[in-house]
Amino acid sequence: MTVAYTIGQSLYLNITNRCTNNCVFCIRRTKEGVGYDLWLSREPNLQELLEAVGDPGRYKEVVFCGYGEPLIRLELVIAAAAEFKKLGAKQIRINTNGQANIIHQRNVVPELAGLVDVISISLNAQNAGAYAELSQPVKYSPEEAYSAVLEFARQCKKYIPRVVLSVVNWPGVDIEACRKIAEELEVEFRVREFYGNG
Ligand code: SF4
């Protein structure tokens, strides 16, 4: 079971395979993924996660990511991030689909303040219609999910030092319209290349 894996100088944490989306470009749909088998037979607990990480200060950053949406396991993320900070982690990042506030039915962002240095939110699309096609939310309507992502980004801007909205370079993604959304929210913008082999 691969709970922690390195890419470059970053340590990535795989804490769940659950997600509230089913994106057309999800790496879970590719044959090789990121080069590690990230399918979990069960989700790791806090102790297992801490053991898998060891000394977090050895890495440029520790990233909650995985084959799934890490903030589905909000309590674990908060507890682990607090431990990593105590142990000298240089930077903590979360890669998220931005739906945590509807998943948990409250604004969870203040709970991440002081623990998370960077949050990378998958915007994925320029409007709810495109989001329906590209991200295929499985639990919420595309309108509900997409507006939740935008509101989540607004909240993150208040509490987290670096906020990045990301899109994948994929047919149907209007990159310039997405860039404008990021500008309006006054957050960073990043275009990711798809590198799965299908
Ligand atoms: S939000 Fe991320 S983990 Fe979830 S389906 Fe989309 S790409 Fe995959």
Q: What is the DSSP string of 12-78?
A: EE------S---TT-GGGSSSTTSS----SS---HHHHHHHH--GGGSSEEEE--SS-GGGGHHHHH
- CB of 22 within 6 A of ligand 1: the answer is yes
List of the chain residues with pLDDT < 50 = 197-198
Which of 26, 119, 168, 194 has most ligand 1 atoms within 8 Å of CB, for mutation?
26
Provide the CATH number for the domain around residue 147.
3.20.20.70
- 125 with 131: CB under 8 angstroms? yes
Predicted confidence at residue 37, as pLDDT, reads 82
Residue 135 located in a structural domain = yes
- 137 with 149: CB under 8 angstroms? no
Predicted confidence at residue 197, as pLDDT, reads 40
Residue 197 located in a structural domain = no
Ligand 1 closest atom vs CA 122: 1
Residue 111 located in a structural domain = yes
- Encoding tokens for residue 68? 């799934």
Predicted confidence at residue 196, as pLDDT, reads 52
Ligand 1 atom 3 nearest Cα: 68
- CB of 122 within 6 A of ligand 1: the answer is yes
Predicted confidence at residue 162, as pLDDT, reads 98
Query: 3-class secondary structure for 121-164?
Result: EECCCCCHHHHHHHCCCCCCCHHHHHHHHHHHHHHHHHHCCEEE
- What's the number of domains the chain is made of? 1
Residue 144 located in a structural domain = yes
Residue 198 located in a structural domain = no
Residue 11 located in a structural domain = yes
Ligand 1 atom 7 nearest Cα: 26
Domain containing residue 104: 4-192
Q: Is residue 184 within a helix (H) or strand (E), and if so which, with residue range?
A: helix 175-185
Work out the widest C-alpha separation in the chain, in whole angstroms.
Answer: 44
Residue 113 located in a structural domain = yes
- Give residue 15 CA to ligand 1 midpoint distance, Å: 14
Residue 67 located in a structural domain = yes
